[in-house]
Structure 1
Amino acid sequence: MGFRKKGFSASQTKRTSRRMSDSMIGSHVERSASRGRHAAGRPDAGTSKVDFSDGRRSRRATRGYVDQVDPQATSGESDADFARRTSRRGYVEQIQSQARKRRLAAGVVIAVAVVAVAVFAGVSAYFFFSDSQLSLGDSNAKDALTAPAEGEPYYALCTASLGTAVEPDAAAGEAYLVVRIDEAARVLTFVSVPPQIMVSLSDGQVHPLSDARAVGGDAELIDQVEELLGVEIAHFARTDADGLARLVDLAGGVPVLVSEEVDDPRAGIQVIKAGEQVLDADQALTLLRASNFADGLEAQAKNRAAFTVNLAGRATSGEGLSFASIIGDGASAVSTDWSSAQLIALGDALRPLAEATVYASVVPGRLAETDGALSYEVFGEELESMMEAVRAGNAPESAEGNVANMDRATVSVEVRNGSGIQGAAARCGELLTTDGYAVEGVGNVDDGTAYPETLVIYRGEENELAAKAVVSDLSAGRVVNGGDFYSFNTDVLVIIGQDWISAA
């Protein structure tokens, strides 16, 4: 027969409640000894007395010791079991192992801190050394630089003394690239500035731009470029042929898409085939010097821009400290106001450079020979139009860029010989016909004058671009708005001068 376990009785409940009260903190109260009937004459007379609801505990407290006032609580482990557990060897080894782990953890933390400090000090020293190598030294370039506005595009002037293999014009060995850098939009716009541009320097004399450093240092060069292009230069960098060769070697070669075969004896003995090429140091210098292309200085400007971007892209393509290492190793090859940290930040902002937008152009104008020396005549209106586009962050609108896509077949041309050389008009007419123009007549000028320069004359704004295209294709000539001063029935009139005979 089954039975049920009975619940607690009333007496059991009271006993349990009383025992719990005896064990709780606060179940004792303080009583003054003076309240006791036999207080006088007792050792504890006049002192405070701790009283418990349990009489035995009260008597022990009166004798001067209270050994427990917290709740009574026991675990499932007896004192004997606890003693046996703590006396075992494994327990001791566990305590020792935990102590070793704590000491090891503390040691690791200290070691990491020491290494972090050492790395920071090493990196700081590394960058300090790189910055000292990059320094402009005694250059006065910083006197002419203008700090850019925060977050806005800015301009940098990059110069290189390339040297020449066999080049009668010493100025041709200088390369000047102004770069508009828009980090936010990741757009780079290169403007090649021919060193043969004639400028008035601080000595009051007219010189080619390549003489600026000799007259007034890097600051003079920066000032002249700023005045020419109408921009403020924020950064400056300078290198030479040896420095470029070192940078190419550090990058392991520079990949460049060569649009036209490079075969210029004045630039170097290397012949570089058209197509994708990885250039070594000698080939790179040849590419940068070469100018005997169908588009002349325009093609040279594009080659220089592509090389610069691809060299930077090669250097920044690695991860971690690889770019910093290249900066450190190549610092002696470049002088600049940029610090190592600024260059790394610039590389990070533009990375990957292969996906950045890159424009390239040359200051519009033409090379001309005067008194046996080459000079570069700037087309002022075209330059202003181009720089408006550059400052706005758009593709440069140079004369060469505009005329490249013009339909020559829609342009009618008349050619007259003013050079004094028999057959010049017929020869020029044949060349223009080959280029696609509609040549409607050739002949001689009526006044018998010998013209020193070729004039390409147009009437009406709609024919200005056609005249510029003729100048570009002839590699000679000056564009003239004829107005009512010249009589002709075609879109363009070409009067051949002695300069075209020399160029041809």
Structure 2
Amino acid sequence: MLLIIGLCLTILVLGTAGAGWWFYQHLNGNINSVALDGKGGSEKADAFGRTPINILVMGSDGRTSKADCKLGGGCSRTGVQTGNGNADVQMVVHISADRSNATIMSIPRDTMVNVPACKDSESGESTPGYYGQINSALQYGPACQVATIHQLTGIPIDHFVKLDFSGVVKMSDAVGGVSVCVSDNVYDTYSHLKLSKGTHTLKGQAALEFVRSRHGFGDGSDLGRTVSQHIFLSAMIRKFKSAGTLTDPTAVYDLADAATKALTVDDGLGSVKKLISLADDVNKVPTKRMTFTTMQTAPDPTNSNRVVVGSGAKDLFSSIVDDQSLTTGSGKKSAAAGAKPSASAVPASQVAVTVENGTTITGRASEVASALTQQGFSSATTTANAPSPATTTTLTYGSGQKGAAQTAAKALGLSASHLEQGSGTGLTLVIGADWTSGSTYPGGASSHAPADTKAAVSNAHAQTADQAKTCAKVSPYKTVELNGVPMTPAQAYAAATGKKDSDA
């Protein structure tokens, strides 16, 4: 996403005569594109004909150049490597249909998922599908990584952007460094990041060490790393949008050149013109309405070093699919994310319905109740036979439960004329003779209930890109080793007196 925002700056150059046209052609020659082949699904337009944009941003651990080998290490025995590597960074970037807000969701690399059957169109490498670590899908091409995440989340992925180690260095250098804060002294002996407590401006290799550090922050795992990456990316977004960067022609040239050389994109973004169009859309979103989140996870019961999709993740996925903002116009958390849902938007997970069969057709109540639970309605939804045959379908609700009734009615395609307030409690749907088949009322237009945005941001480490004072939390645990001795990152910093700080 940051690379795409950065490309927006090239508009300043491309609008000039002579050099602008030469530079346009130069940038087009930099871009490497790969076919997506429709593996990410497709978006649906809203009532005004506008469509959201979903981009999968991947950071590859591939050492496919001498520069990557030098920066990433691991080439002493293999030399420069071939193939795509693993997707060590995976972020789904969602830009709303009206371009007013964005959600950036990181997916931890250690997540275990079902990878679908895939074939890399460039290398011919293929798989019949398997259960494994999510980042490994990139070995079968970027389109396979897209297909895997689409299958996991249900989110249509329109585009992808892939970046390698050298790309991070080029981008951070091009903007003159990125300012980040750490909560304590930190030395990650694995990524080699070494910084004193406080604020630092990171360039080049120091920037790469920061975004790669998984033992220095949080709990010392990939989950902690995603939060520190969000802090870094938020700072880079603010730098991109700063007046100094926008008005410096040299910075614009360097940034655009670095961005296009570092990218592999899908063929839908395979030209400067297409990237600029996308960048223009992205740049409309204010930083206070860009929400960074991390997919909720739970420990893998069969492997303590891996995770699986956790509670709340489905709500986060649904909020993106449904194009629901996680912030308000002021940039604060949405009312649904920070307070009890309003009467007109009660999440399906909080709604239980007693479904009664008022027809002579066996199984009608079970059919409709099953459809509700499949849409995320409460597992407390039950079935029964109506006390007497019913001609007309009705949904009766108790005092204060009109919002819940509206959620159920929307899911079932029932108009307001079918809703009645009763004297009891809870919701009771009586299926009448006017609805003899299917799980949607005849002639009705069903729509699944809105996602629970409070659950969507719960334990998702949500923060907006304008939160400049957030520091990366250094791990308090013994997550690193120095000379074979387990230490906390702060202890390692104190002990490593002979090693210079990364920003020295």
TM-score after normalising by structure 2: 0.47
TM-score after normalising by structure 1: 0.47
Q: Which has the higher helix share?
A: 1
* Structure index of larger Rg: 1
